[in-house]
Amino acid sequence: MKKETWNLGRSRGLEKAKLIIGDLKKEVALLLKNKKKIRILEVGCGYGRVLLELKKIFGNRIETYGTNKEPAWNIELIKKFGIAEKIFSKGDIKSKLPKFVIADADKGLPYPSNYFDLVFSQRVIQYISDKAKYLEELNRIVKKDGLIFTDIQDGSKKDKPIELQHRWEIWNKDKRVSIYQLLSKKKNIHLYKEKGNPQDKYIKMKKDPNFKMNIKLISKIDLHGINPDWWGTKSIYILK
């Protein structure tokens, strides 16, 4: 029987996620010190490996949720992956699966405000057209004492053409503003270097009921449309 070939980018587990957005296992354990049970959401969960591994570790103390944009990346595929990778047995996996929806994060997330204790995404924001609005949406759905982890994926790579060097392009009249400079001014956000990609950073973000990025999207560029070897969307903003 031919062995299934899984997409590497969609099959990251806790160890690989640690290189991108930090130690989620540790963060969940810390949250559970003060709560009997927590809700966790991964936006763009792929095959759901991180959610399945967290469920295996923490069991019924966590309630897991996941989204993907494309209908092909569905709950049945997550189930198939979890069994194939022996995270759970065929008999056990049904009760361990995340509550899953197909949702385009660029158009908002189908959850109530103040709903999750922990929200995270990895390698998703690069595809979002309005990245600032996406951060505001994550802030909306997390609880007052909840946490958000996401990479920022500015893509600042000097060995690449200028079109790929920054996926966030922010202007204050005739001056460029770095997204990291902007985020560093937010009291509810801490920036950390990615361990696997130190020229980029990820954020640990606390709920701020008044959180606004205060930038306006004026244009976007499909980088894949320029070059099939590139990926993501370049988002161009002005300061409000």
* pLDDT averaged per 10 residues in sequence order, the chain, 240 residues: 72 95 98 97 97 98 97 96 96 96 96 98 96 98 97 76 82 95 96 89 96 97 88 94
What is the value of pTM for the model shown?
Answer: 0.95
* Residue 85, pLDDT score: 95
* Residue 196, pLDDT score: 82
* Residue 8, pLDDT score: 83
* Residue from 49, 55, 51 nearest 80 by CA: 49
Beta strands in 163-200 (DSSP E): 168-172, 175-177, 189-193
Q: What is the H or E stretch that residue 101 is in?
A: strand 99-102
How many Cα atoms sit within 13 Å of 176 on the Cβ side?
A: 8
- Cα–Cα distances in Å, from 181 out to 10, 133, 176, 189? 30, 18, 11, 12
**Tokens 């802030």 belong to residue:** 139
* Residue from 158, 157, 202 nearest 179 by CA: 202
> What tokens appear for 62 in the block?
């966590």
**DSSP letter assigned to residue 31:** H
Alpha helices in the chain (DSSP H): 14-21, 24-32, 49-58, 75-84, 131-141, 162-165, 179-184, 223-226
The domain at 8-154+186-212 falls in which architecture? 3-Layer(aba) Sandwich (3.40)
Q: How far apart are CA 15 and CA 22, in angstroms?
A: 9
Where are the domains positioned within the chain? 8-154+186-212
Note the maximum CA span of the chain: 61
**Dihedrals phi, psi of 209, to nearest 5 degrees:** -60, -15
